[in-house]
Chain A
């Protein structure tokens, strides 16, 4: 059974700093999705990664996929308060979710 692990689970960072969230998964998959969830809200699609080496960028967020290492990263550049949220990766055609990374950006 596919296992999806995210780390860290909690991340507190200062505005202006860079950081990376990791998503590891246990069985072969060529597709991975990243979502954002604000407290009490629904999930918002951020990125869809469909092949080995795929890289997508939107604003201060960049996501990449290494299918051979079974690893995706979500890199945050020069964090701002508005990025505070929980970030989820989901793996495979049946979108199995990781536990999420709760990001807090402090002034």
Chain B
């Protein structure tokens, strides 16, 4: 089965460090989402792209987060500088709006 690949699976970093999370969408999918999941806030939309164009990144703290799709096979989410409150599981999903989306396994980020 085709899958969305996220790397790294786990990341522990110190406050102030830069963190980059990567997502390889399923080949041919035209839409990519980034979400953050925490117990307190649930699933928060951070950003999403269609045909590599950003459609909405209003959920991201702009001063520290950035999301890009340098090509159709890679989406990245960067946090600089990271803070303890950024600790969460970050999910990427890809698919088509009329057919649903496949989620990756997530990146568990811990900022100490």
Contact = CB atoms under 8 A, between A and B. Distances in A.
A42 B104 contact: yes
A33 B101 contact: yes
A43 B97 contact: no
Contacts of B97: 31, 93
Interface residues of A, number: 21
A20 to B, nearest CB: 21
B41 to A, nearest CB: 9
B106 interface: yes
Q: How large is the interface on B (under 10, 10 to 19, 20 to 34, 35 or more residues)?
A: 20 to 34
A53 to B, nearest CB: 16
B98 A50 contact: yes
Nearest to B3: A42
A94 B56 contact: yes
28 contacts: A31-B97, A33-B101, A41-B105, A42-B91, A42-B103, A42-B106, A43-B91, A43-B93, A44-B103, A45-B95, A45-B100, A45-B101, A45-B102, A45-B103, A48-B98, A90-B43, A93-B97, A94-B48, A95-B33, A95-B45, A95-B48, A96-B45, A97-B42, A97-B43, A97-B45, A99-B42, A100-B42, A100-B43
